[in-house]
Chain A
Amino acid sequence: MDEKFIEVKQLYKTFHTKKQDIEVLKGIDLSVGKGDIYGIVGFSGAGKSTLVRCINRLEEPDSGSVRIGDQEITSLGKAQLNKQRRKIGMIFQQFNLFDSMTVAQNIAYPLKMAGASAKEIGARVEEMLALVGLTEKRDAYPGELSGGQKQRVGIARALANQPDVLLSDEATSALDPQTTLSVLDLLKEINQKLGLTIILITHELEVIKYTCHRMAVMEDGKLLEQGLVKDIFQHPQCDTARNFIGVYNKFRSDYWQEEAK
């Protein structure tokens, strides 16, 4: 396994608001292997979203670098960046589907942009619909879908152009547990089938434990701990990780067991 398919080095980002400057990323170093599902967990406001948004430069980092494969993302000009972005899929908590387009048109959108022919688009859309199990919903509008179905469309749209990387920012946070599970299963399936590298942001430890191979713990703009999920769960090193796992265990504990003690 290529240990450093995605490499983030010394990433800094400060937001300047009228009232104050908020330093959100304080020197992030991160490497993700090819074909990995990499989880990043942290409490609200830790800077997780800002970090992934810097990876495809929806947010411009102040300094530092991001590399994917042999492409230095942070040094690209606008046109090249747009081209590169077509190879980086992204899914969102609020799905962000286009309400004016049908499911099929949503999935076709990135393909049109990449200049695929009508025939290619048709075939690829069918393939994607089958992958996410929504073939019957081809001509439905997002407005008539459930949250889980919307996220499946989001995933299909993100994958349509055969990206190398999928960024997922709280993609399951608006879904019920059962739907969350099915979406995570889908992500695991495409990770294995397509060898896709996934960065998965969440504040739910269960999601990471279920899906990811490796993980990082983020707090206040820094990655405090990185490693195999198993290691961090068994031997959390930093306070935040311990805190997280403490909360996680608390939720899992049963009061009837507590009482029995």
Chain B
Amino acid sequence: MSLYKYSFWEVLKHAFSAEVWERVVPAISETMYMVAVSAVFVLVFGVLLGLVLVMTSKEGLVPCKSVHTVLSAVINCFRSLPQVIIIIVMLPVARALVGKSYGSNACIISLVASCVPLFARLVESSLLELDKGKIEAAKAMGSGNMRILFQIMVPETMPSLVRAFTNAVVIIISMTALAGSFGAGGIGYIAVTYGYTRFEHDLLFATIIVLIVIVQAVQILGDTISKIILKRRHLI
């Protein structure tokens, strides 16, 4: 149903029809798959790199200028590229890793390449917010670095880390939609091929609604978890 033939309300109404959702639902599960797998990778590598950034910084637990400078520079390189360009750059990498440069798994690689550096920076800034006094107290009690890292720094900054991860997931979702236009499939693919190329605006509307709902849900979930932790600690 195109907006050129039908009125806005008719198209919008049709966006909720079974005919449309038959095509959108499989795309949703495809998108969910890409987002979920990417999010796991982003969480693991982002936290690791973020921790390394903080640890090796000048005021960190194991200052190491060379590691810090190199890692920081690499992250900045990735961060300075627009997401479209990262997707294009990662196409050959994806082909090398998963055998083809299109499809969900190839998309996951560019999502990870783009969002790990972002999340690493978010983790870094969360951890840097931690009051130095607490780290000193832990040191004064004779804690080793790993203990300080995982029993003090990470738990103490957990509400902020949860919020950072929520942001990262929202960005992953929007990027999945973008990657859809490069043959990744999922909701983005529907929006571009049907909504843009074939003027099936009812499908376009359906994808917009789905994206809004998913992002809202993620944001509310993240905010709630973060608030629950803060409440339990009586910090709000």
- Which residues of A are interface residues toward B (Cβ below 8 A)? 56, 58, 81-86, 88, 90, 92, 94, 96-101, 109-110, 113-114, 140-144, 157, 161, 167
Contact = CB atoms under 8 A, between A and B. Distances in A.
Interface string B139-159: 111111001000110011010
Given A109-B141, A113-B142, A141 B234 contact: yes
B232 A141 contact: yes
Given A98-B152, A100-B233, A141-B233, A85 B158 contact: no
The contact size tier of chain B is 20 to 34
A82 B142 contact: yes
Contact of B133 (A84, A85, A92, A100): A92
B134 interface: yes
Given A141-B233, A143-B233, A143-B234, A100 B158 contact: yes
Given A82-B144, A85-B141, A86-B142, A96 B234 contact: no
Contacts of B155: 98, 100-101
Contacts of B10: none
A48 to B, nearest CB: 16
Contact of B142 (A84, A96, A142): A84
Given A88-B140, A92-B136, A98-B155, 11 more contacts: A82-B142, A82-B144, A96-B134, A98-B138, A98-B152, A99-B235, A100-B155, A109-B138, A113-B142, A142-B233, A157-B141
Contact of B233 (A88, A99, A114, A161): A99
A100 B139 contact: no
B213 interface: no
Which has the most chain B C-beta neighbours within 10 Å: A99, A141, A143? Answer: A99
B65 to A, nearest CB: 15
A217 to B, nearest CB: 25
A113 B232 contact: no
Interface in B106-146: 131, 133-134, 136-144
A100 B140 contact: no
Interface in B25-71: none
Contacts of A144: 234
Contacts of A84: 142
- Closest 3 interchain pairs by CB? A143-B234, A85-B142, A96-B137
Contacts of A143: 233-235
Contact of B143 (A99, A113, A142): A113
A157 B131 CA distance: 18
A92 B137 contact: yes
Contacts of B140: 56, 58, 85, 88, 90, 167
A75 B212 CA distance: 61
Contacts of A100: 155-156, 158, 233
A135 B217 CA distance: 42
Contact of B141 (A94, A99, A110, A140): A110
A96 B133 contact: yes
Contacts of A81: 142
14 contacts: A56-B140, A58-B136, A82-B142, A82-B143, A90-B141, A96-B131, A96-B137, A97-B134, A98-B155, A99-B156, A99-B235, A100-B155, A100-B156, A143-B233
B141 A96 contact: no
Which has the most chain B C-beta neighbours within 10 Å: A90, A96, A100, A167? Answer: A100
A82 to B, nearest CB: 4
Interface in B200-236: 232-235
A195 to B, nearest CB: 21
Interface string B7-31: 0000000000000000000000000
A113 B133 contact: no
Contacts of B136: 58, 92, 96
A101 B137 CA distance: 14
A146 to B, nearest CB: 12
Contacts of B234: 140-141, 143-144
Nearest to B139: A58
Contacts of B158: 100
Nearest to A94: B133
A99 B156 CA distance: 6
B139 A85 contact: yes
Contacts of A86: 141-142
Given A96-B131, A99-B235, A100-B158, A113 B152 contact: no
A143 B152 CA distance: 16
A129 B131 CA distance: 25
B35 to A, nearest CB: 29
Contacts of A113: 141-143, 147
